[in-house]
Amino acid sequence: MRFTDLTGPQVAALPADTVAVLPLGAIEQHGPHLPVSTDHVTATAAAEAAVAAATTAGVPCVLLPGLAYTKSDEHHAFPGSLWLSWDTLMRTLVDLGRSLAASGITRLLFVNGHGGNSALGQVACRQLRREFGLRTFFAHLSVPADQGGRSSAESEYGMGIHGGHGETSLMLHLRPDLVQMNLAVRRVPEGLREFSLIGFGKPVSFGWLSEDFGPDGHVGDPTGATAEHGKAVFEAGVGQLVRVLDEAHRFHT
């Protein structure tokens, strides 16, 4: 069910435990082989599929229009990246939460497709809980490799964080017409392997910009990506999101 298809009285009549689902994407460069819409496409598609499946299963939830412009300033050096400042995005998320609460919505799930939103999204979840009493949840289609998720290809050594095997496979499944595999090249920062504590998915994180890792803007190895792998990742991620929605509408502390 799409929130924007409802009338005002229909929104007011939604069950009290309805979960509003907001996809968080990004418009940012993803190397020479993927479109700048990659994160927006994947987050929106996953949220749409999960809401449809959860609704069929009897879980009360509604899909909000996805937010395309988010925090992508780590990619500022490459053309095509459009980003909001951290404080603009924070205020946007808080304002949306305020609006939902005013409409009687009590639960909000962010479905995130861009790793750069994660830290700020967690802060927003707590702020929305404190200011408006919303039950807030933050989920990924798949956990980014630099935040503890598993790299989708052994050749990436846990560093396929942006435009690598996983994202390229997802786009080959969802929008193959936008993928240019003839331009895909390996860009894995193998020098980071010498550090045991500092790095992607390691105990100590570090500040980085995409230009730190080469001239193409992506970090990973997209060369072996396949639509079949992307389909498996997408279906597994959607299945988990359906379970998240089932828990989110029942969650209490």
pLDDT in tens, 213-235: 999 999 999 999 999 999 999 99
Q: What is the pLDDT of residue 146?
A: 61
Query: 144 versus 155: which is more confidently predicted?
Result: 155
Please say if the pLDDT value at position 143 is more than 90: no
Q: What is the pLDDT of residue 61?
A: 98
Q: How far is it, in rounded angstroms, from Cα 137 to Cα 47? A: 13
pLDDT bracket for residue 152 (50, 70, 90): low
Q: What is the pLDDT of residues 177-202, one digit of tens each?
A: 999 999 999 999 999 999 999 999 89
Mean pLDDT over each residue of the chain, to the nearest integer: 95
Please say if the pLDDT value at position 236 is more than 90: yes
Q: What is the pLDDT of residue 141?
A: 86
Largest separation between any pair of C-alpha atoms in the chain = 59
**Overall average pLDDT of the 50-61 stretch:** 98
Q: How far is it, in rounded angstroms, from Cα 24 to Cα 189? A: 27
Q: What is the pLDDT of residues 35-55, one digit of tens each?
A: 999 999 999 999 999 999 999
Report angle CA 151, 154, 160 to the nearest 5 degrees.
Answer: 40
Q: What is the pLDDT of residue 151?
A: 61
pLDDT bracket for residue 154 (50, 70, 90): confident
* % of the chain residues with pLDDT over 90: 93
pLDDT bracket for residue 12 (50, 70, 90): very high
* CA-only gyration radius of the chain, Å: 18
Q: How far is it, in rounded angstroms, from Cα 102 to Cα 90? A: 18
Please say if the pLDDT value at position 13 is more than 70: yes
Q: What is the pLDDT of residue 150?
A: 65
**Overall average pLDDT of the 95-121 stretch:** 97
Q: What is the pLDDT of residue 142?
A: 75
**Overall average pLDDT of the 125-138 stretch:** 98
Q: Which two tokens stand for residue 121?
A: 């999204």
Which residue(s) pair with 70 in the sheet?
Answer: 83
CB 47 within 8 A of CB 40: no
Q: Render 129-168 in DSSP notation, one character per residue.
A: HHHH--EEEEEESS--GGGTPPPS-GGGTT---BSSHHHH
* pTM for this entry: 0.94
Q: How far is it, in rounded angstroms, from Cα 182 to Cα 97? A: 43
What is each CA distance from 172 to 37, 86, 137, 148, in whole angstroms?
13, 31, 29, 24
Q: Comparing 44-58, 103-117, 143-157, which segment has the lowest mean pLDDT? A: 143-157
Query: 134 versus 158: which is more confidently predicted?
Result: 134
CB 11 within 8 A of CB 199: no
Please say if the pLDDT value at position 78 is more than 90: yes
**Overall average pLDDT of the 61-77 stretch:** 97
